[in-house]
C-alpha cells in the first residue's frame, strides 16, 4: 500500500490571465495580512508563487513574490481573531553571502512590513504552541533574530521543505515535533530547551561542517579556526562537535582520504597518485600512503581505476502535490482546533 504524501498546496499567479495576479494574491493571503496595492504600473506584471506544507500542528510556507507592503491593523486583528505566530526566514538562495535571520511576528499585535519583495520561508504555529516553546514570545514581536541559532533553524526548515515532496503524511507529527524542538532551542531563552534539542542541533551542525570541509578539501590552509568562523562557532564548540571523529584534523584527513579514494577509483582520472594527494593537502607521500592503507586496508595503487565511484540516483518525487489555491486560510482554521 502506497503511503500518502504530505499535504502540499501551490498557488501561482502565472496561471492566471494577465492583470489578475495581484487581486488573486491579495485574496489568497487575506487570512493573514492586508496588502497594499503595488505601484500603478505594477499590477499587470505582478508575480507571486507560494507553496504550503501542512504538518498538522504547524504549517511551512515558501514564497517568491514581487514587492508589496503587508500590514495587520488593529481593526483586522479584531475582525479575524487570528491567534498565531509567523516565523519568517530569509532565503539563502537570494543572498548567499548574507547570514540568515528569523523575523518573529505575533499576529495578535499590529504589524507593518515595508514594501519589499518576499523571498523566503515561514513557519506558522498557534499561540499556545509558541508560548509553550518560547515563554514570553509576545515580547519578541517584530524582533529579527540572527547568529548561529538562526542559521540552525533556517538550515533545518529549508532541509525539511526540500525533502517534503517525498515524505509520507503519516510521519508529519514527527517532523512537526522536530521543528518545534528546533524553535524552542534556537529562539527560547531556557537552557534546558537547548538540551532537549541538542542531538538535532548537533546533527544539523555536523551536516554544515561536512559541507564546508568537503567544499574546501583542496585548500591548503583549511583549519579549525577557519571552519569555526564559517559555522559561527567557537573553536572549542567545533572541537566538541568533531570529538567523536577523533578531532578536527583527523576528520579533515579522513574526508580528504575519502575524496582521494573516489578519484583513484575513477578510470577517467589520469593524474599521478602523488599529484592527487598533494592537491588535497597530503604533502608527504610516505605519510599519505600510511594513512591511506590504515584507513582502507590496502595501498593507493591497488584501487587505481577499478571504477568503484557510482553515482546514486535521487529519490523520486511523490505524487499528490496540488496546484490550485494557496491553502493557508483553510489550514489556519485547522490549526485553531
**Over residues 191-202, mean pLDDT:** 60
Q: What is the pLDDT of residue 125?
A: 93
- For the chain, domains (ranges, CATH) are 8-197+318-336 (no CATH), 216-303 (1.10.10.60)
User: For residues 234 and 228, is the Cβ–Cβ distance under 8 A?
Assistant: yes
CA distances from residue 158 to 122, 204, 321 in whole angstroms, order as listed: 10, 11, 18
CA distance linking residue 306 with residue 172, whole number of Å:
43
Per residue in 124-166, pLDDT tens?
999 889 988 988 788 788 888 888 888 899 999 999 999 999 9
Per residue in 297-328, pLDDT tens?
888 888 775 544 332 223 333 333 333 444 55
Cα 35-91-315 angle, rounded to 5 deg:
120
Per residue in 67-113, pLDDT tens?
888 988 888 887 877 889 999 998 776 665 677 889 999 888 888 88
User: For residues 205 and 186, is the Cβ–Cβ distance under 8 A?
Assistant: no
pLDDT higher than threshold 50 for residue 337: no
CA distance linking residue 176 with residue 227, whole number of Å:
31
Long-range contacts of 268-273 (CB under 8 A, 24+ apart): 269/305, 273/300, 273/301, 273/304
Amino acid at each position: 500500500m502506497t503511503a500518502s504524501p504530505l499535504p502540499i498546496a501551490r498557488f501561482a499567479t502565472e496561471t492566471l490571465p494577465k492583470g489578475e495576479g495581484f487581486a488573486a494574491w491579495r485574496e489568497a493571503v487575506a487570512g493573514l495580512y492586508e496588502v497594499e496595492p503595488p505601484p500603478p504600473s505594477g499590477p499587470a506584471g505582478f508575480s507571486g508563487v507560494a507553496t504550503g506544507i501542512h504538518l498538522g500542528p504547524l504549517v511551512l510556507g515558501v514564497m517568491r513574490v514581487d514587492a508589496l507592503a503587508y500590514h495587520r491593523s488593529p481593526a483586522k486583528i479584531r475582525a479575524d481573531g487570528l491567534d498565531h505566530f509567523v516565523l519568517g526566514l530569509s532565503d539563502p538562495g537570494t543572498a548567499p553571502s548574507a547570514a540568515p535571520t528569523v523575523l518573529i511576528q505575533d499576529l495578535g499585535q499590529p504589524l507593518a512590513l515595508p514594501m519589499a519583495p518576499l523571498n523566503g520561508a515561514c513557519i506558522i504555529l498557534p499561540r499556545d504552541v509558541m508560548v509553550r516553546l518560547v515563554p514570553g514570545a509576545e515580547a519578541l514581536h517584530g524582533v529579527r533574530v540572527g547568529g548561529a541559532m538562526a542559521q540552525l533553524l533556517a538550515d533545518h526548515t529549508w532541509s525539511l521543505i526540500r525533502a517534503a515532496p517525498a515524505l509520507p503524511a503519516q510521519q508529519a507529527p514527527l517532523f512537526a515535533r522536530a521543528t518545534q524542538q528546533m524553535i524552542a532551542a534556537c529562539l527560547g531563552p531556557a537552557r534546558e530547551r537547548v538540551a532537549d534539542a541538542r542531538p538535532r542541533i548537533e546533527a544539523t551542525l555536523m551536516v554544515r561542517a561536512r559541507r564546508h570541509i568537503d567544499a574546501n578539501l583542496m585548500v591548503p590552509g583549511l583549519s579549525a579556526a577557519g571552519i569555526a568562523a564559517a559555522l559561527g562557532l567557537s573553536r572549542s564548540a567545533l572541537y566538541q562537535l568533531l570529538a567523536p571523529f577523533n578531532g578536527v584534523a583527523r576528520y579533515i584527513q579522513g574526508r580528504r582520504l575519502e575524496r582521494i579514494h573516489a578519484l583513484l577509483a575513477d578510470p577517467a582520472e589520469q593524474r599521478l597518485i602523488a599529484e592527487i594527494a598533494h592537491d588535497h593537502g597530503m604533502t608527504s607521500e610516505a605519510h599519505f600512503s600510511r594513512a591511506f592503507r590504515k584507513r582502507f586496508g590496502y595501498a593507493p595503487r591497488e584501487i587505481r581505476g577499478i571504477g568503484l565511484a557510482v553515482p546514486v540516483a535521487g529519490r523520486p518525487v511523490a505524487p499528490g502535490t496540488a496546484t490550485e489555491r494557496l491553502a493557508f486560510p483553510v489550514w489556519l482554521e485547522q490549526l485553531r482546533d
